[in-house]
Structure 1
Amino acid sequence: MKATRVRDLVGLTAFAAIATWLLVRVFYGSLPPITGFAGASLYPVAAIEAVLAFVIRARVEEHRIGVGSQQLHPITAARAVALAKASSLVGAASAGVWLGLLLFLLPKRADVTAAAQDTTGALIGLVGGVALAAAALWLEHCCKTPDEPPDEPAV
């Protein structure tokens, strides 16, 4: 399985931002207020993935991979990679949605009271999306198998 490319995530973020900006231009008046809690749901997931990355990294560095009770099961590592790949996409798409909303809100802050109030929630969501994508990329990186040391020639 290939590693997730940052440029793919940036492309997804840009696509989501443009699509959201276009939709918000039409439907902003019918959207509910954006609270700080709207984007905050991404933070716990990002924190869990960051902690999981450090746990997996420690086990990989200590060569504790296997089926024993104190070892990291290879299937668990594979599941963590799948989680990381999915989470990086969710984080990038979420960041794009919040960015598209911000691109609409920021120019209207001075004129529209609702836009000024919604900006904080959108910023919280944008940072949460970026944090989730970053934590997911870190988790995926930590799940890589270490390079095998070269065989020493017999002396």
Structure 2
Amino acid sequence: MKPTRVRDLLGLAAFAAIATWLLVRGFYGSLPPVSVFAGASLYPVAAIEAGLAFVIRARVAEHRIGPDRHQLHPITAARAAALSKASSLVGAASAGVWLGLLLFLLPKRSTVDAAAADTTGAVVGLIAGVVLVAAAMWLEHCCRTPDEPPDEPAV
């Protein structure tokens, strides 16, 4: 599995931001208010992934990967890597959506009361998306196999 490229995540976030800005521009009056909790839902996922990254990193450093009961099974590490790739995409898309909403809201804050009220929730959501991407990238990094030391010639 190839590592996630930051450029791909930035492209996804930019696409989501533009699409959201276009949609919100046309339909903002019919949208419900943005709650602070709407974007905050990604924080627990990011915390779980960061915790899992530290566990996997410790097991890899201690060479405790294997089928034994007290070891981290290789399939579990592969599943964590797949989770990290999916979460980084979700985080990038979410950050893009919240950024697109913020790009619409910020110029209207002084004239539209609803825009001022929705800004806080959008900022919380944007930060949550970025935090999820960071946690997912950290988890993916921790799931990589350590480099093998080069074989030393026998003397």
TM-score range, shorter chain: over 0.9
Give the partner amino acid of 2:147. Answer: D
SS at match of 2:130: helix
Q: Name the residue aligned to 2:102.
A: 102
Q: Where does the alignment leave 5 or more consecutive residues of structure 1 unmatched?
A: none
Amino acid at match of 2:112: V
Q: Which runs of 5+ in 2 are unaligned?
A: none
Task: State TM-score, norm by structure 2.
Answer: 0.99
**Secondary structure class of the residue paired with 1:33:** coil
Q: 1:3 matched to which residue of 2?
A: 3
Q: State the match for 1:116 in structure 2.
A: 116
2:95 is paired with a residue of what secondary structure?
Answer: helix
2:43 paired with 1:59: no
1:87 match: 87
Report how many aligned residue pairs link the two structures: 155
Aligned to 2:138: 138
Q: Does 1:128 align with 2:128?
A: yes
Deviations 1:101-134 (A, max 9, x none): 0000000000000000000000000000000011
Alpha-carbon separation, structure 1, partners of 2:6 and 2:70: 33
Identity of aligned residues (%): 83
* C-alpha distance in 1 between matches for 2:115 and 2:23: 15
Where has structure 1 moved over 2 Å in runs of 4 or more?
Answer: none
Shift in Å at residue 153 of structure 1? 1.4
Q: CA deviation at 1:27?
A: 0.5
Query: C-alpha distance in 2, partners of 1:26/1:97?
Result: 15
Give SS of 2:13's match: helix
TM-score (norm 1): 0.99
Give the C-alpha shift of residue 64 in structure 1: 0.4
Q: CA RMSD in A?
A: 0.4
Q: What is the aligned partner in structure 1 of residue 150 from structure 2?
A: 150
Equivalents in 1 of 2:12, 2:130: separation in Å? Answer: 12
CA shift for structure 1 position 70: 1.2
